[in-house]
Amino acid sequence: MSEGWDAIQKDLDKMETWACVTLTKLNKAECKVLHLSWGNPDYQCRLGDEGMERSSAEKDLGVLGMKSWT
């Protein structure tokens, strides 16, 4: 549904803003949209001004745990 896609895009926009405020560099070339179900419409997500590449499968999601700084 378009509401879901709008919510995802809103979160991506928040992430882009957070990265700018915290001077964190995002590797946008490594960011992809992973479709987890069949029949998704051709919705183009973007990160900043750049469209995100689509992917039907990923071997490694690249999620790293953060060590507590306390």
Residues counted in the chain? 70
Q: Where are the beta strands (DSSP E) in the chain?
A: 32-34, 46-47, 50-51, 53-55
Distance of alpha carbon 17 from alpha carbon 64, whole angstroms: 21
Chain mean position to CA 31: 6
Residue 66, pLDDT above cutoff 60:
no
pLDDT tens per residue across span 12-56: 999 999 999 999 888 888 888 877 666 666 678 888 888 888 877
Residue 69, pLDDT above cutoff 60:
no
